[in-house]
C-alpha cells in the first residue's frame, strides 16, 4: 500500500496549483457563505471533497441547511443538479432509470434517472431501504450505472452529496459499512450562533439568498482542477505518517473495524485537494492531520458496548484524536 500511494506522487512535478485558482476557490467559498452563515470549516471540507472528486456525507438534524449547501455548490460550479428525496418506498429504478415502452415505435426507450447529473443530492439517504441505498454503490465507486444488463457511464464530473438524519431518528435505516466507505468525507454543520441565525432571518426577508448565488467556475474548469489534484507532491515522510495513523486504527483495542485501503487513498487524495485549495503544489502535515476526523470517523467501527448513532461517532472522533496525539508528526 505504501509503495502504491507513493507512486501517486510523481517526482517531476508540473505546476498544478497557482494563486489564481486559489483566489477563485476563495471567491466560490465566499459565494456559498452568503447562504450558509458562519460555517467556514464545514464549507472548506465540502470543497475539499468536491475538488478531490469524492463524495460527501452530511449528517445532522433536520433544518440545519444540508440541502441548501449542496444546492449552493451546484450553482457556484454551474453543475447539472438533481435532487433525489429518499423515502421508504423509493425503488432502485427511481434512482438509476428504466426502460419505458413507446407505443408509437413499439420499442423500449431508456429513461435515465436523476443519478445522471453532475451533482446529485441524495436527500435523507438513510430513510430509504438498504436495497435502494445499494443503487448508489456502483455509481459512486465506478462512475457508471448498470441497469437491465446495460452499463452506462455517468457524466463528468460526478459527485454525490448525501444527507442523513442521525440514526436515532424515527424511520431511518443505518448505512452499511460498504456504503459509508465510499464517502470521501463526512461532516456535520451544527446549529448557528444566535448572531448568525439573526443574520439568516434578516437575509431572507425579501428573497431566497440562493437566488443570488451565481457561477464562479464552470464544470469543465472543475474537471481540470480535479485532474490536477493527482499531481500534488506528497513527501514519503507524509506517506509514512498517514499509514501510521491508518495502522493505529487497525490495532486499536476499542475498534472492531479499522480504516480500509480505500480510506487510506481517500485521506491521501483529500490532503492533495486541500493543498490545491491553498495554492500549493505540495502537501504539508496539516493537510493530513486536519482531515483525519472527517475522512475516518465514519469508516471505523467502534465496539458494540458504545451506543449506536451519534454517540458512536463521537467516540470514534475521540479515538482518532488520541491516535493523532500518539503518532509523531514528521518535521
Confidence (pLDDT) at 60 = 83
Is the model's pLDDT at 26 over the cut of 70? yes
Confidence (pLDDT) at 1 = 55
User: CA separation (Å) from 215 to 115, 130, 211, 312?
Assistant: 22, 35, 11, 38
Quick one: cell of 274?
Answer: 486541500
Where are the CATH 1.10.8.80 domain residues in the chain?
Answer: 1-16+231-331
List the alpha helices (DSSP H) in the chain: 2-7, 19-33, 40-51, 66-76, 92-96, 130-133, 137-142, 177-180, 194-203, 219-229, 236-251, 261-277, 285-289, 292-296, 310-326
Rounded to whole angstroms, the Cα distance separating 246 from 234 reads 17
Class of domain 1-16+231-331: mainly alpha
Mean pLDDT over residues 108-119, rounded?
94
Hey, is 119 helix, strand or coil? Answer: strand
Quick one: cell of 159?
Answer: 459527485
Q: Over the stretch 143-159, which tens digit does the pLDDT of each residue have?
A: 999 988 899 999 999 99
Rounded to whole angstroms, the Cα distance separating 137 from 114 reads 15
Mean pLDDT over residues 243-272, rounded?
94
Percent of the chain with pLDDT over 70: 91
Is the model's pLDDT at 132 over the cut of 50? yes
Quick one: cell of 291?
Answer: 482531515
Cα angle 273-277-278, degrees, rounded to a multiple of 5: 120
* Summary mean pLDDT of the chain: 87
Q: Over the stretch 84-106, which tens digit does the pLDDT of each residue have?
A: 999 989 999 999 999 998 888 88
CATH superfamily of 18-229: P-loop containing nucleotide triphosphate hydrolases (3.40.50.300)
Q: What is the DSSP letter of 192?
A: P
Confidence (pLDDT) at 9 = 45
Where are the CATH 3.40.50.300 domain residues in the chain?
Answer: 18-229
Q: Over the stretch 219-256, which tens digit does the pLDDT of each residue have?
A: 999 999 999 999 999 999 999 999 999 999 999 998 88
pTM for the predicted model, two decimal places: 0.88
Range with the poorest average pLDDT among 171-180, 192-201, 209-218, 292-301: 171-180
Confidence (pLDDT) at 107 = 87
Amino acid at each position: 500500500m505504501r509503495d502504491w500511494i507513493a507512486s501517486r506522487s510523481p517526482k517531476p512535478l508540473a505546476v498544478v496549483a497557482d494563486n489564481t485558482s486559489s483566489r477563485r476557490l476563495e471567491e466560490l467559498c465566499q459565494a456559498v457563505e452568503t447562504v450558509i452563515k458562519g460555517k467556514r470549516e464545514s464549507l472548506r471540507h465540502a470543497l475539499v471533497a468536491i475538488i478531490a472528486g469524492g463524495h460527501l456525507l452530511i449528517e445532522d438534524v433536520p433544518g440545519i441547511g444540508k440541502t441548501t449547501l449542496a444546492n449552493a455548490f451546484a450553482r457556484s460550479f454551474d453543475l447539472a443538479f438533481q435532487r433525489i428525496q429518499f423515502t421508504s418506498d423509493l425503488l432502485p429504478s427511481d434512482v438509476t432509470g428504466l426502460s419505458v415502452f413507446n407505443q408509437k415505435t413499439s420499442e423500449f426507450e431508456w429513461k435515465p434517472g436523476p443519478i445522471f447529473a453532475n451533482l446529485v443530492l441524495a436527500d435523507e439517504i438513510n430513510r430509504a431501504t438498504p436495497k435502494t441505498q445499494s443503487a448508489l454503490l456502483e455509481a459512486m465507486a465506478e462512475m457508471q450505472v448498470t441497469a437491465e444488463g446495460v452499463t452506462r457511464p455517468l457524466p463528468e464530473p460526478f459527485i454525490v452529496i448525501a444527507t442523513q438524519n442521525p440514526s436515532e431518528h424515527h424511520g431511518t435505516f443505518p448505512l452499511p459499512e460498504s456504503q459509508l466507505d465510499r464517502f470521501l468525507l463526512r461532516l456535520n454543520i451544527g446549529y448557528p450562533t444566535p448572531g448568525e441565525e439573526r443574520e439568516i432571518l434578516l437575509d431572507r426577508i425579501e428573497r431566497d439568498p440562493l437566488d443570488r448565488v451565481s457561477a464562479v467556475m464552470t464544470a469543465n474548469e472543475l474537471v481540470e482542477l480535479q485532474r490536477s489534484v493527482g499531481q500534488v507532491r506528497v513527501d514519503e515522510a507524509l506517506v509514512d505518517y498517514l499509514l501510521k495513523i491508518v495502522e493505529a486504527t487497525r490495532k486499536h483495542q476499542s475498534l472492531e473495524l479499522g480504516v480500509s485501503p480505500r480510506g487510506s487513498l481517500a485521506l491521501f487524495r483529500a490532503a492533495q485537494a486541500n493543498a490545491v485549495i491553498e495554492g500549493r503544489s505540495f502537501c504539508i502535515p496539516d493537510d493530513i492531520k486536519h482531515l483525519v476526523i472527517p475522512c475516518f470517523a465514519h469508516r471505523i467501527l467502534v465496539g458494540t458496548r458504545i451506543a449506536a448513532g451519534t454517540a458512536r461517532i463521537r467516540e470514534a472522533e475521540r479515538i482518532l484524536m488520541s491516535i493523532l496525539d500518539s503518532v509523531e508528526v514528521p518535521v
